[in-house]
Chains A and B, each alone.
Chain A
Amino acid sequence: MKRFYLAHERAILGAIGVVLFLMLWEGFERGWWAELLQPPLGPQAARFQLKPIFISSPTRIARMAFDMFFITGAIWKDIGWSSLEFALGIALAFAIGIPLGLAAGWYRRLNYAVEPFLAALNATPQVAFLPLLILWVGTGLASRVMIIVLLAVLPIAISALAAVRTVDARLVRVARSFSAGDALLFRSIILPSAVPFLLAGARLAVGRGMIGIVVGEIYGSSAGIGAMISQAGSRFETDKVFVGVLTIATAGVALVELIRRIERRVDVWRPQVAA
């Protein structure tokens, strides 16, 4: 018994914490604690029961999630829209960020030129540009994609830049002395050694993109998970809000895990150049 506990201490303690938390939550909504505290506290105990619009409860959320995913299927349309925005935004961020970062890493002068802009953009909470983007292109798909690009492009560009900077100088020198051109050098040395950096940047970009989905949809958007969350919030449908939040969290975790897997894969086939 004891050995079993020690072997699985992490899982057991974690599960106990989560279960206690969920029960505490459920109890607030169902009035378990109000009933329990009735004898010592008297009428004051009613304070320990909270309205469902205020905190919802795990079982309500589970029921709502089941409804939205499998019975009415209402959430799939929102997921579809948000995924489209996310995919377009992240793809554009890669298309802009990788060439920019690689070029700025390779050409010193170009780096000097773009440095002030990257630093300024990095220090700004990029979401502050949202009203401007809306003024330019309206509240449609375009502004939502653009805010995702704006949020996600920096980690990608910065990691691409760092990747070029840390390429083994010996490799470059060897290639040069065998008179390899820039194109060959780039294809056979820089790009392969940049891959792990780019994947790390992609992991950050995914998180940023998730923020972009939500933030981009808070203004006048009619479809998408972020819009669903904010509409549910303004109607006090707390359980629906939680379903949306959990959906985004799950998607984020799944994507990051996917990138981690690819990272591990890449590390295996990559020749151990540095060693």
Chain B
Amino acid sequence: MNFERLLIGGGTLVVFLLVWELCADSDAINPLFISSPSRIVHAGSALMTDPDFWNDVRVSANEFIFGYIAAIVIGVPLGLLMGTSRRLSYIFAPFVDTLNAVPRVTLLPLLIIWFGIGIWSKVAVVFLGAVIPIVISALSGVKTNEARFLTMARSFSASRTRIFASIILPGTVPYIFTGLKYAAGRALLGVVVGELYASTAGLGHMIADAGNMFQTDTLFFGVLIFTATGLVVVALLDRLERRFERWRPNVGAAT
């Protein structure tokens, strides 16, 4: 059963790559336009020894990491606060909702006026892209807390901090992780768009340059790096989430 899945999935992938390779090699379609798997591998191995390439990787990684971490550091507490304090949520809701409605990449021209075309405008767009889903998921995590637990804790006169630490926070963890996974996609999008729009270095910059110079193989290799990053980040977050789930007492299962 699972074997069938692997067989069909893997088989299709192999056939796809073979057809692609053949189309390019037989000049049925100009390889300038579609490149081919072997060319991409070649370009990739050539890039591995290229210091410029590693510089691009470092720049993009920095943009992603700074922006994403800033989004977590600000987004999670803000979401939790908005979830626990009704008044705060009333005050912040219009801003969060408005930003949520705007595709944050539209703010790029402004961010570039404010922060220049260096790394910080990209960090800002990554931050803005990632912070909103994190806030919203943390907020909705708090909101969906089991009312029974809260009533129970209150009737045993637990303090607010105690309730927060032992009921609200653990209950919110799965929601936060869902938000983090979604935010990772948004953050990658921010890196790419920011670098395509205006930049001096980074993988998005490399992709755009490769496109301009018809180096389709380099272009595909760059896209593949983004694909791999997306897959790895989500897999890592899944792992972390399972870890958090493990120590969590299985409270919900009782009913």
By a CB distance below 8 angstroms, the chain B residues around A115 are: 5, 9
B94 within 8 A of A: yes
Cα distance, A114 to B234, chains bound together (Å): 20
CB–CB B94/A18 < 8 A: yes
Question: Which of A112, A128, A226, A229 contacts B222, CB < 8 Å?
Answer: A128
CB–CB B216/A132 < 8 A: yes
Within 8 A of A (CB), among B177-229: 185, 188-189, 191-193, 196-197, 204, 207-208, 210-212, 214, 216, 219-220, 222-223, 226-228
B254 within 8 A of A: no
User: Which chain A residue shows the least CB distance to B190?
Assistant: A125
Chain B contact residue count (CB 8 A cutoff): 57
B149 within 8 A of A: no
User: Which chain B residue shows the least CB distance to A219?
Assistant: B196
CB–CB A248/B9 < 8 A: no
B109 within 8 A of A: yes
Cα distance, A209 to B150, chains bound together (Å): 41
Hey, what's the 0/1 contact readout for B81-99 against A, CB within 8 Å counting as 1? Answer: 0000011001111110010
Hey, what's the 0/1 contact readout for A103-137 against B, CB within 8 Å counting as 1? Answer: 00000010011111101101111011111101110
CB–CB B196/A134 < 8 A: no
Within 8 A of B (CB), among A191-219: 207, 210-211, 214-215, 218-219
CB–CB A113/B226 < 8 A: no
Cα distance, A229 to B204, chains bound together (Å): 21
Cα distance, A113 to B24, chains bound together (Å): 23
B54 within 8 A of A: no
A64 within 8 A of B: no
Interface residue stretch chosen among B100-108, B138-146, B164-172: B100-108
Closest Cβ–Cβ distance, residue A221 to chain B (whole Å) = 13
Question: Which of B33, B91, B106, B230 contacts A245, CB < 8 Å?
Answer: B106
CB–CB B223/A132 < 8 A: yes
Cα distance, A124 to B221, chains bound together (Å): 12
Closest Cβ–Cβ distance, residue B63 to chain A (whole Å) = 13
User: Which chain A residue shows the least CB distance to B211?
Assistant: A131
Closest Cβ–Cβ distance, residue A152 to chain B (whole Å) = 12
User: Which chain A residue shows the least CB distance to B1?
Assistant: A108
Closest Cβ–Cβ distance, residue B100 to chain A (whole Å) = 9
B119 within 8 A of A: no
Interface residue stretch chosen among B72-80, B110-118, B153-161, B242-250: B110-118
Question: Which of A123, A244, A253 contacts B106, CB < 8 Å?
Answer: A244
By a CB distance below 8 angstroms, the chain A residues around B101 are: 249, 252-253, 256
User: Which chain A residue shows the least CB distance to B184?
Assistant: A123
By a CB distance below 8 angstroms, the chain A residues around B102 are: 245-246, 248-249, 252
CB–CB B107/A124 < 8 A: no
CB–CB A109/B8 < 8 A: yes
Please classify the interface of chain A as helix (H, G, I), strand (E, B), loop, or mixed, using the class held by over half of its residues.
helix
Cα distance, A9 to B211, chains bound together (Å): 54
- Interface centre among A9, A132, A134, by most B CB within 10 Å? A132
Hey, what's the 0/1 contact readout for B105-137 against A, CB within 8 Å counting as 1? Answer: 111111011100000000000000000000000
CB–CB B192/A233 < 8 A: no
A145 within 8 A of B: no
B27 within 8 A of A: no
Closest Cβ–Cβ distance, residue A105 to chain B (whole Å) = 15
B13 within 8 A of A: yes
User: Which chain A residue shows the least CB distance to B6?
Assistant: A112
B231 within 8 A of A: yes
CB–CB B207/A214 < 8 A: no
**Sample of 28 A–B contacts (CB below 8 Å):** A9-B86, A9-B87, A10-B93, A14-B94, A16-B91, A112-B8, A112-B12, A113-B11, A116-B9, A116-B13, A124-B227, A125-B191, A125-B193, A128-B192, A128-B223, A131-B207, A132-B220, A135-B216, A135-B219, A232-B109, A233-B109, A233-B110, A233-B113, A234-B109, A245-B102, A248-B102, A249-B101, A252-B101
| A interface residues with partner B (beta carbon < 8 Å) | 9-10, 13-14, 16-18, 21, 53-54, 109, 112-117, 119-120, 122-125, 127-132, 134-136, 207, 210-211, 214-215, 218-219, 226, 229-230, 232-234, 236, 238, 241-242, 244-246, 248-249, 252-253, 256
Question: A-B pairs with the 8 shortest C-beta distances?
Answer: A233-B109, A131-B211, A123-B230, A13-B90, A112-B8, A17-B91, A113-B12, A124-B227
